[in-house]
Chain A
């Protein structure tokens, strides 16, 4: 672990924490640069890069042409020369023109060159739903990318994690898909801004940072059932746990933080304790990350389980019109319904 640093605690919202994390990373390493559509003068459509263009100039905060494949493709070239591009894809639904570059190139170069080449590109994506947006602006894309070996896929749920994890992702020698729960950009929290810097500046910092970024966090302790979530669904699970407690059900909430890899050690420790698990994500349940988790729990903790692992998530349909999204998305009621069902065993 890293040495104790003097705490510098500031109150920030999640979007502001990413902004501060980007700034810290750019100050720490002159090779870190940002690219994307409207990220410069405008500061991004969610203002996550606000002020950075003004302070770092247009060589380090680059408004790109409107072409996602070009954004990721050129970022790969820059990374090959030792730069660390942090690119923004404006919305989850617009990552697909870059799908080829991400899956056939970015994810595979290290493997194909037997480790001789590293492409530490970070792809930031405001993702998931709940903000009443028009189509293609609410997509949960994690399974598509978690299915691609060579990419790390992470999603912070709190301002502290947002601040730390964006810097850890940038420090990581692996390419990282950094999924920002856009409906949580305005969630506020206390952020210790000193700790992660100390970690990164220590010898072996990048390795330690990558390892820490990939670890889950017990967001609430409990003993009857484990709720597994990441990104936007963590807050929902905490609310559900609160309500379950009123019903005398003690729910533990695990914030996975990393989707690829999953921190199975933390997951298994919890499930072995509670004997029940409910996975919650906004993405469609079918062929999703919940299925992967459920299978792994089944394989590794079968004899500890009192009930089948349940999944709560989106349905097998395109994301519906926003007037329907609150019926489509997992809700506290749907989580509690699943909790009831596992508790019935």
Chain B
């Protein structure tokens, strides 16, 4: 249910209501007037594929194929709508739940499972996609986003007068993260340096078991006013509104007008992670309330009532979802651990005597078992 303070609906920008009807908003309508039905179908497709992938990943974890899974369930509109407002040279600093963002940025979701399978700590080339690696330490990436944005500015990528060339940074984090020192310091640094960065808070109403009311008395977007930058609240289950608000914010930042805070109020429909048991701290009626506000269903209703979601398109997306799930399953199951000694690689960028010595010892030690086998 809508609650108080950071869980209230206070000031939410909304362009599609819960019933999937278009509501007018003089401020933000211009930021979505360019969207065609094809664009909206593409949003719907991206959200649907992200969910298919997500559900498959949860079941892979249940089958013991992944150590952990962090579902994005319910947050698809916040992620897809915002990511579609970015393009190179924009750079994104995600936390760890932004699978929908990755998908929009062209990272094959089937390829990101190494981290969750315990094979590696990151799975894509951040430079190639303009998406930094996931950060599990809450809020630690927020200052990185600010520094990156300042450097983009110095490098002439901001406010150049050529909107095609300009870029900005988006930093994603959750409601819980807003309590961290790192995040607050990032806000201060961004503000005083006029850094081209958009802080995108997914207020999914929980930090594991703690409701957002344990982090804040007021809507999180209000943090912005304390450092003197704009803050906007948006209905995070409305992909169109999220897109509009993020587009506005990106243009603001890219053109050199400085940072923005966006708070997207959404709901974590699944568990925090596969290790979590939400029945210990929330009610099924609360879950049902938000299930009835499913972000994918909302856009689907809008498209269907406009007669813009043909059955064959839906069938194709469903098939694509199954195919993505199949490829994910195959990719996860096909992961072979490389030689163990590879764990010694990349500690430093240049040779380091201690690492070399330990690696050599380890290889001798491993080989001694092989020798014993031969001796037997």
Do the two shown chains form a genuine complex with each other? Answer: yes
* A binding-site residues for B, Cβ under 8 Å: 37-38, 40-43, 45, 63-67, 69-70, 93-94, 96-97, 132-136, 286, 315-318, 320-325, 327-328, 333-334, 337
Whether A37 touches B208, Cβ cut-off 8 Å, given contacts A70-B179, A337-B365, is yes
Contacts of A38 in B (CB 8 A): 207-210
Distance from B174 Cβ to chain A, minimum over Cβ atoms (Å): 9
A66–B179 contact, CB under 8 A?
yes
Asked if B355 is at the interface of the complex by the 8 Å CB criterion, the answer is yes
Of the residues A40, A67, A318, A324, contact of B180 by C-beta under 8 Å: A67
Of the residues B181, B347, B358, B362, contact of A97 by C-beta under 8 Å: B181
- Chain B, 130-181, CB within 8 A of any chain A CB: 136-138, 176-177, 179-181
A315–B358 contact, CB under 8 A?
yes
Give bound CA distance, A316 to B352, whole Å.
Answer: 10
Identify the stretch in B115-123, B186-194, B283-291, B296-304 within 8 Å (CB) of chain A at 4 or more residues: B115-123
- Chain B, 334-375, CB within 8 A of any chain A CB: 337, 340, 343-344, 347, 352, 354-355, 358, 362, 365, 368-369
B344–A317 contact, CB under 8 A?
yes
Give bound CA distance, A67 to B209, whole Å.
Answer: 15
Whether A323 touches B119, Cβ cut-off 8 Å, given contacts A42-B281, A134-B136, A316-B347, is yes
B68–A42 contact, CB under 8 A?
no
A37–B347 contact, CB under 8 A?
no
Distance from A75 Cβ to chain B, minimum over Cβ atoms (Å): 16
Contacts of B347 in A (CB 8 A): 316-318
Whether A136 touches B137, Cβ cut-off 8 Å, given contacts A69-B181, A317-B347, A334-B365, is yes
* B binding-site residues for A, Cβ under 8 Å: 67-68, 114-121, 136-138, 176-177, 179-182, 207-210, 214-215, 275-276, 280-281, 337, 340, 343-344, 347, 352, 354-355, 358, 362, 365, 368-369
- Closest B residue to A137 using CB positions: B136
Contacts of A40 in B (CB 8 A): 209
- Closest B residue to A328 using CB positions: B343
Question: 5 closest Cβ contacts across the A-B interface?
Answer: A322-B118, A42-B209, A65-B179, A66-B176, A320-B343
B176–A134 contact, CB under 8 A?
no
Contacts of B275 in A (CB 8 A): 45
Distance from A105 Cβ to chain B, minimum over Cβ atoms (Å): 14
A317–B355 contact, CB under 8 A?
yes
B210–A324 contact, CB under 8 A?
no
Of the residues B68, B119, B355, contact of A316 by C-beta under 8 Å: B355
- Closest B residue to A64 using CB positions: B214
Of the residues A69, A134, A316, contact of B358 by C-beta under 8 Å: A316
Give bound CA distance, A132 to B118, whole Å.
Answer: 7
B116–A94 contact, CB under 8 A?
no
Give bound CA distance, A337 to B137, whole Å.
Answer: 36
Of the residues B67, B215, B276, contact of A66 by C-beta under 8 Å: B215
Whether A134 touches B67, Cβ cut-off 8 Å, given contacts A38-B208, A315-B344, A321-B118, is yes
B344–A322 contact, CB under 8 A?
no
- Closest A residue to B337 using CB positions: A323
A63–B210 contact, CB under 8 A?
yes
Distance from A287 Cβ to chain B, minimum over Cβ atoms (Å): 10
Of the residues A42, A316, A334, contact of B208 by C-beta under 8 Å: A42
Q: Is the interface of A mostly helix, strand, loop or mixed?
A: loop
Of the residues A45, A67, A321, A337, contact of B120 by C-beta under 8 Å: A321
Given contact pairs A315-B358, A317-B343, A323-B118, enumerate 10 new A-B contacts (beta carbons under 8 Å): A40-B209, A43-B280, A65-B214, A66-B177, A315-B343, A315-B355, A316-B352, A321-B121, A327-B340, A337-B368
Distance from B104 Cβ to chain A, minimum over Cβ atoms (Å): 24
Give bound CA distance, A65 to B120, whole Å.
Answer: 30
- Closest A residue to B180 using CB positions: A67
Contacts of A65 in B (CB 8 A): 176, 179, 214-215
Contacts of A325 in B (CB 8 A): 118
Give bound CA distance, A322 to B120, whole Å.
Answer: 8
Contacts of A323 in B (CB 8 A): 117-119, 337
- Closest A residue to B335 using CB positions: A323
Whether A134 touches B210, Cβ cut-off 8 Å, given contacts A94-B138, A315-B344, A321-B121, is no
Contacts of A134 in B (CB 8 A): 67-68, 115-116, 118, 136
Give bound CA distance, A66 to B206, whole Å.
Answer: 11
Contacts of A43 in B (CB 8 A): 280
A135–B121 contact, CB under 8 A?
yes
Q: Please name 30 pairs of A and B residues whose Cβ atoms are closer than 8 Å in the assembled complex, sorted by A.
A: A37-B208, A38-B208, A43-B280, A45-B276, A63-B209, A65-B179, A65-B214, A66-B138, A66-B177, A66-B180, A67-B179, A70-B179, A93-B136, A97-B182, A134-B68, A134-B118, A135-B121, A135-B136, A315-B343, A316-B355, A317-B347, A320-B343, A321-B115, A321-B119, A321-B120, A322-B67, A324-B343, A327-B343, A328-B343, A337-B365
- Closest A residue to B368 using CB positions: A337
- Closest A residue to B176 using CB positions: A66
Give bound CA distance, A37 to B215, whole Å.
Answer: 11
Give bound CA distance, A40 to B365, whole Å.
Answer: 46
Distance from A49 Cβ to chain B, minimum over Cβ atoms (Å): 12
B67–A132 contact, CB under 8 A?
yes
Give bound CA distance, A195 to B75, whole Å.
Answer: 52
Distance from A286 Cβ to chain B, minimum over Cβ atoms (Å): 6
Contacts of B210 in A (CB 8 A): 37-38, 63, 66
Give bound CA distance, A264 to B148, whole Å.
Answer: 50
Contacts of B180 in A (CB 8 A): 66-67, 97
Whether A136 touches B280, Cβ cut-off 8 Å, given contacts A38-B210, A323-B119, is no
B207–A37 contact, CB under 8 A?
yes
Distance from A313 Cβ to chain B, minimum over Cβ atoms (Å): 11
Contacts of A318 in B (CB 8 A): 121, 347
Give bound CA distance, A287 to B68, whole Å.
Answer: 32
Give bound CA distance, A26 to B50, whole Å.
Answer: 47
- Closest A residue to B277 using CB positions: A42
Contacts of A334 in B (CB 8 A): 365
Contacts of A64 in B (CB 8 A): 214
Contacts of B214 in A (CB 8 A): 63-65
Indicate the member of A96, A327, A333 with the most B CB atoms within 10 Å. Answer: A327
Give bound CA distance, A7 to B18, whole Å.
Answer: 63
- Closest A residue to B278 using CB positions: A42
Distance from A135 Cβ to chain B, minimum over Cβ atoms (Å): 5
